[in-house]
Structure 1
Amino acid sequence: MKLAILVVDGVFDTGLTVLLDIFSTANELASAQGIAAPLFNVEVVGVGRSVRTALGLTATVEPADQVRKPDWVVVPALNAKQPERLIEALARKDVLDAIAHLRTWHASGISVAGACIGTFMLAEAGLLNDREATTSWPLAPLFRQRYPSVKLDDSRMIVAGDRLVTAGAAMGHLDLALWLVRQASPEMAALVAKLMVIDKRPSQAKYIVPNFLANADPLVERFERWARAHLATGFSLQDAARALSVTPRTLQRRTEAVLGKSPLAFFQDMRVERAQHLVALGQDLETIASEVGYAESATLRNLLRRRTGRTVRELKADLQ
């Protein structure tokens, strides 16, 4: 499989090296098993002949307009974690040139993948319009605002479609690389994961910090503060809207636009976050249930299992 890793100045060093290390490890293991040809032929490409990474390292790259047709183009993240910085970066000439190459490559039949903030470049190219995708969860509010036609589900770690794949935040580069290895050899992907001690992460939902997302919008931030104060008493859309001096419809629409979920779903996220914190402190489940608004601990137990994929016992064991 021929891969072109498309980089621009300010590329996230870890994202780039994770991709290179995974594909290199797969090739080494294949060679050790007597497979003559490498599984992956990898080129690092850019709009010029060199790029400077976010940590200041200079890397020589193959000019994108000279690259022979790859099977996949993979876009690692820019190291622009704040919305303002990312918007500025997306307007740079080198980034715009790279986006133009993505459009041309995809139109010619080449498959395209992006991880973390790299997914913004796919969206800027229009490749994700009317498609399902994921992205770096801290920047999901900006993604929804900037690309309303994309069907974003930031709880997922990998979203694979027809010749397009997106992966979640930061270490989503690992998941994307393993997904690509799996396309060449499922057995090799499993071996690479074991050798490099990589756990399965089908979802990034458990990593999402609700109040971090709420800070993206003043009304949602106020709703988040109201909700935390009312975890024990339960949720009422009418009461929340009244306290915030807006209509229920306005609150509903704003949380959907910013968070991609209803006020009730966001309230449930905060319940789960609070419950996990109290589990970490060693409190019993009955006390925790009362603090987050449940009369029965069994209801909370089921919610935690559904949202985290872990039992209470497993959550406790993770913290030991």
Structure 2
Amino acid sequence: MQTILILAMEGVMDSGLAISLDTLKAGSAFLSGSGRKHKIRIVTAAHRKCIRTGAGLRLTADLTFKEVSESGIKPNWVIVPGAGLTSDKEIAARLARIDSIQAMRLLQAFGKVNANIGAACSSVFFLAEAGLLSGRAATTTWWLSHLFRTRYPDVRLDESKMLVRDGQFLTAGSAFAQLDLALAIVADTMGASVAHLCSRYLLIDRRPSQARYMIQTHIRHMDPTVLAAERWVDAHILSPISVATLSSELAMSPRTLARRIQSATGLSPVKFIQRRKLMHAIHLIETTSLSIEAVAEKIGYQDGTALRKLVKREFGTTPSGLR
């Protein structure tokens, strides 16, 4: 018997909770239908027996957080569905709530006994706040990445990834990356063949990256140097741009520029320049009928080969797959 515990906090995103339950229960049904004796127990827990979801629906949990602590339950996986947070003020308020504090204490306790723990979207903040991701790699929703990086600079954040596994911790990107997280947990607890069946029946496509969904103008941070670097790169997108040239234009040393860019975006200067060019390229690929060679030319590449390799590396697909 494997146990999967879902921690639902007041105001939990309905989609995140439902996606987790539906995917896990589909996997469990496929597992039972295969004739295997392996069983899955799915348990929901909340700070009180009945809570309200983000959409105002009523959830009756199987256990309260207190009952989870007292029961001695030993889950194979603990899942924290998305919390639907959109700003630093909301995040700070949610982390200070009593149900969040109780949930983080449970996460810390399960972390100490090496239970696997998964979180998606803004709920990754709970794992980081509990100190579970210190020194580890993680991802979260791309448009909160600047807030996450400011709060938890010791976490190696890569918001371009859809899923990041580091030891016992699995983190996922924006809200509907909960699908990817749940499917990965199905694979881990029920087997790759069951996960494949779930993906086929539920029409879950393979999506290794969030990068193609990022909206360039919505990626925000407050570092004036990095903002100036973005503006300069965007204005000279047709030209080959070196780190030395960029740092010279901004009147600072390459080392200082690298430190500022790394702190604000989590990228090296070279990858920062590549990312700006790539986002322009993706916009052209998705909104025009230009050939890949023509798109490459418009971002300062000599031919389409380098662009194809970059798209494949970052998005796990070909440029034509983005159209």
Do Structure 1 and Structure 2 share a fold, with TM-score over 0.5?
yes
* Deviation string, structure 1 residues 213-232 (Cα, Å, up to 9, x no partner): 24454432332222211101
User: 1:167·1:173 contact (CA, 8 Å) conserved in 2?
Assistant: yes
- Of residues 268-277 and 72-81 in structure 1, the stretch that sits farther from structure 2 once superposed is 268-277
Supply the AA of the counterpart residue of 2:168: R
Q: Distance in 2 between matches of 1:308 and 1:302?
A: 10
Q: Distance in 2 between matches of 1:26 and 1:295?
A: 48
User: 1:211·1:224 contact (CA, 8 Å) conserved in 2?
Assistant: no
**Matching residue of 2:98:** 93
Deviation at 1:246, TM superposition (A): 4.8
* 1:1-320 matches, cutoff 5 A: 1-35=2-36, 39-61=39-61, 62-67=63-68, 68=71, 69=73, 70-183=75-188, 184-244=190-250, 246-280=252-286, 281-315=288-322, 319=323
User: 1:272·1:307 contact (CA, 8 Å) conserved in 2?
Assistant: no
Supply the AA of the counterpart residue of 1:59: L
Deviation at 1:36, TM superposition (A): 6.1
Q: Which runs of 5+ in 1 are unaligned?
A: none
Supply the AA of the counterpart residue of 1:270: R
Supply the AA of the counterpart residue of 1:104: A
Label 1:79 to 1:177 Cα distance change in 2 as closer, same or farther (>3 A): same
User: 1:210·1:269 contact (CA, 8 Å) conserved in 2?
Assistant: no
Deviation at 1:313, TM superposition (A): 3.5
Deviation at 1:175, TM superposition (A): 1.2
Q: Distance in 2 between matches of 1:288 and 1:130?
A: 38
Deviation at 1:27, TM superposition (A): 2.1
Supply the AA of the counterpart residue of 1:190: H
Q: Distance in 2 between matches of 1:171 and 1:136?
A: 10
- Of residues 171-180 and 247-256 in structure 1, the stretch that sits farther from structure 2 once superposed is 247-256
Q: Which runs of 5+ in 2 are unaligned?
A: none
Label 1:264 to 1:177 Cα distance change in 2 as closer, same or farther (>3 A): same
Label 1:57 to 1:271 Cα distance change in 2 as closer, same or farther (>3 A): same
Q: Distance in 1 between matches of 2:319 and 2:155?
A: 35
Label 1:144 to 1:215 Cα distance change in 2 as closer, same or farther (>3 A): closer
Label 1:99 to 1:219 Cα distance change in 2 as closer, same or farther (>3 A): same
Q: Distance in 2 between matches of 1:275 and 1:167?
A: 25
Deviation at 1:74, TM superposition (A): 0.9
TM-score scaled to structure 2, two decimals? 0.88
Secondary structure in 2 matching 1:267: helix
Q: Distance in 1 between matches of 2:217 and 2:230?
A: 7
Label 1:300 to 1:163 Cα distance change in 2 as closer, same or farther (>3 A): closer
Percent of counterpart pairs with the same letter? 35
The alignment of Structure 1 onto Structure 2 pairs a total of residues equal to: 315
Q: Distance in 1 between matches of 2:89 and 2:35?
A: 50
* Deviation string, structure 1 residues 97-151 (Cα, Å, up to 9, x no partner): 2111211222244332212212111111111112222222222222222112222
Secondary structure in 1 matching 2:44: strand
Aligned-CA RMSD value: 2.2
Q: Distance in 1 between matches of 2:114 and 2:306?
A: 49
Q: Distance in 1 between matches of 2:301 and 2:119?
A: 40
Label 1:102 to 1:304 Cα distance change in 2 as closer, same or farther (>3 A): closer
Supply the AA of the counterpart residue of 1:309: G
Q: Distance in 1 between matches of 2:27 and 2:292?
A: 44
Q: Distance in 2 between matches of 1:148 and 1:60?
A: 37
User: 2:163·2:173 contact (CA, 8 Å) conserved in 1?
Assistant: yes
